[in-house]
Amino acid sequence: MNITLKVTKDLNYEDVVSIFYSVNFLKYPEKRLIYIKAIEKAFRKSQFVVSAWDNDKLVGFVRVLTDETLFATIWNLIVLPEYQKKGIGKLLVKKCLDKYKNLHFFIFADEDNIKFYEKLGFKFHQYGMYLEKGKKVCVIYN
């Protein structure tokens, strides 16, 4: 395994969506084309996108939204299941943290991923909030 990181938004978004499906982030196969379009737009509007490659195979990615002055948020850190627990997620997150060394980072994580982020220095914060309405209107959730 020879993992390299690339900073680019020019990805095959069919492959990106396949990786989303591989970790059960996406539910509806019949919405694949809608997902491809929405996810490509989200990635292209992000300030920073890093992908991980095993030779010419896309195996993971992460993206950052930021004001580039104060705050940054990590989104969609996803690694193919067969490549997980090999340090790839850590490499992707570190690349983001290195890019924006002077910003305050936030992340939203599933309960089973909290330990992973704690190992990277993130602290759990009990006061995170979201609007429930968002799940009803976002193409990913409905």
Task: List domains and CATH numbers for the chain.
Answer: 3-137 (3.40.630.30)
pLDDT at position 109: 86
Residue recorded with tokens 């020019």: 10
Chain centroid to CA 10: 15
3-state secondary structure of 133: helix
The pairing of strands 104-107 and 71-79 is parallel
Render pLDDT for 42-99 as a digit per residue (tens, 0 to 9).
999 999 999 999 999 999 999 999 999 999 999 999 999 999 999 999 999 999 999 9
Percentage of the chain beyond pLDDT 90 is 82
Q: Are 93 and 78 in contact (CB under 8 A)?
A: no
Distance between alpha carbon 38 and the CA centroid of its chain, in Å? 14
- pLDDT score recorded for residue 141: 67
Return the active site residues. Answer: 117
13's tokens: 């978004």
From CA 83, how far away is CA 73, in angstroms rounded?
A: 24
Which two tokens mark 38?
């929405």
Three-state DSSP at 12 gives coil
Q: 107: which strand partners?
A: 74
pTM, rounded to two decimals: 0.93
